[in-house]
Amino acid sequence: MPDETKRTIQLLNEDLYGEHDAIVYYLTHAWTVARQYGSQILEIANDEMRHFKWLGHTISQLGGTPDLAVPPMTPASDLASALEKDVQAEIHAIDQYRQHADVIAEPRVSALLRRIAVDEQDHLRQFRDLLDQSQGQDVLAARPSEEVAPVAEQLQKTIHKEYQQMLSYLWHSFMEDHAHDLGLDMEERSIDEMRHMGWIGKRLGMMGVAPDLASEGARPSLTEGEVDEAKLYHEVRHWAEQQMPTLVPTIDRILAHEDYHLQTAPGQ
């Protein structure tokens, strides 16, 4: 592989990591301290997910391996700090994309980065508008207490597993042929895992608990991940029947999705 291509892949992986970092923060902010702006922030997060997909596919097409390392995260404690961080993240992203576009020789890759920078510029405008609009005023939510701690512990287990499985589907999508088979392809399965994360993340956010997106990262065995995930959800469902019955319908819906993933897993 030419050195220039290696350098391009390195820069794109830096951009991929930046998108991953932004997705984690925006989702967490939308679920917790910035819930009053949740729908708008989730739209921005969806844009970042598209960028993540484009970058991952481009890296793969250049002969590289997308780096799906999990970014470290410090949860925001209030609305103002969350929106300020989001503004700074967009400023950094715009600068980085423009710098990388200037030094990457491949015209199609450079054009892609400039295209993404246009989106980031509009995200910056939106976050600045939200910050001006809110003036940092929080909508108070219930804070963690000894009463919610056992619930949060159970839900955190599920969000860890959803995140890991989502990354696994994305990794396989980037590294393997993207042709569609019958039913859900790898990326659509990843979207399922993201939706599950959203359902659980909102529950935690309503309790005043920041979802912990710590993960071991993507792993090669998809079926093993689904088996572990389904087992965990059955355990959480058993607990919820006794301690939190209102959660059971959501768990049942997730279990039905996971059962489909298992039945239609690659190689089955």
- DSSP characters over 93-125: HHHHHHHHHHH---HHHHHHHHHHHHHHHHHHH
Question: Distance between CA atoms of 132 and 219, rounded to whole angstroms?
Answer: 42
* Residues 49/146, Cβ–Cβ less than 8 Å: no
Confidence at residue 96, expressed as pLDDT on a 0 to 100 scale: 97
Confidence at residue 187, expressed as pLDDT on a 0 to 100 scale: 76
Of 100-109, 169-178, 182-191, which range is least confident?
Answer: 182-191
Class of domain 3-134: mainly alpha
Confidence at residue 185, expressed as pLDDT on a 0 to 100 scale: 66
Confidence at residue 191, expressed as pLDDT on a 0 to 100 scale: 79
In sequence order, what are the residues at sequence separation of 6 or more whose Cβ sits closer than 8 angstroms to the Cβ of residue 221? 168
Confidence at residue 136, expressed as pLDDT on a 0 to 100 scale: 52
Confidence at residue 179, expressed as pLDDT on a 0 to 100 scale: 42
**pLDDT above 90 (res 99):** yes
**pLDDT above 60 (res 182):** no
Residues in the chain: 268
Question: Distance between CA atoms of 1 and 189, rounded to whole angstroms?
Answer: 32
Confidence at residue 224, expressed as pLDDT on a 0 to 100 scale: 80
**pLDDT above 80 (res 46):** yes
Output b/e per residue, 204-230; b: 16+ Cβ within 10 A. Answer: bbebbbbbbbebeebeeebeebbeebb
* Residues 97/117, Cβ–Cβ less than 8 Å: yes
**pLDDT above 90 (res 208):** no
**pLDDT above 70 (res 137):** no
Q: Which two tokens stand for residue 113?
A: 């980065």
Direct distance between the N- and C-terminal alpha carbons of the chain, in angstroms, rounded to an integer: 35
Confidence at residue 206, expressed as pLDDT on a 0 to 100 scale: 81
CATH topology of domain 149-263: Ferritin (1.20.1260)
**pLDDT above 50 (res 39):** yes
Q: Which two tokens stand for residue 63?
A: 């002969």
Q: How confident is the model at residue 25 (pLDDT cuts 50, 70, 90)?
A: very high
Q: Which of 101, 97, 86 is nearest to 119 (CA)?
A: 97
Q: How confident is the model at residue 113 (pLDDT cuts 50, 70, 90)?
A: very high
* Residues 100/15, Cβ–Cβ less than 8 Å: yes
In sequence order, what are the residues at sequence separation of 6 or more whose Cβ sits closer than 8 angstroms to the Cβ of residue 222? 165, 168, 169, 172, 265, 266
User: What confidence tens digit (pLDDT) does each residue in 189-205 have?
Assistant: 787 788 788 888 888 88
Name the amino acid, one letter, at 179.
A
Please, what is the angle between helix 186-206 and helix 248-263, to 10°? 160
Q: How confident is the model at residue 180 (pLDDT cuts 50, 70, 90)?
A: very low
Check for a shared fold between 3-134 and 149-263. Answer: yes
User: What confidence tens digit (pLDDT) does each residue in 55-86 have?
Assistant: 998 898 899 999 998 888 888 888 999 999 99
Please, what is the angle between helix 222-243 and helix 149-175, to 10°? 160
**pLDDT above 70 (res 188):** no
Domain locations in the chain as residue ranges:
3-134, 149-263
* Residues 215/170, Cβ–Cβ less than 8 Å: no
Q: How high is the mean pLDDT of the chain?
A: 85
Confidence at residue 110, expressed as pLDDT on a 0 to 100 scale: 92
Q: What is the mean pLDDT of residues 15-39?
A: 93
Look at the block and give the residue holding tokens 């088979």: 181
Q: What is the mean pLDDT of residues 96-104?
A: 96
Q: Which two tokens stand for residue 32?
A: 């917790």
Q: Which two tokens stand for residue 45?
A: 């997060």
Q: How confident is the model at residue 177 (pLDDT cuts 50, 70, 90)?
A: low
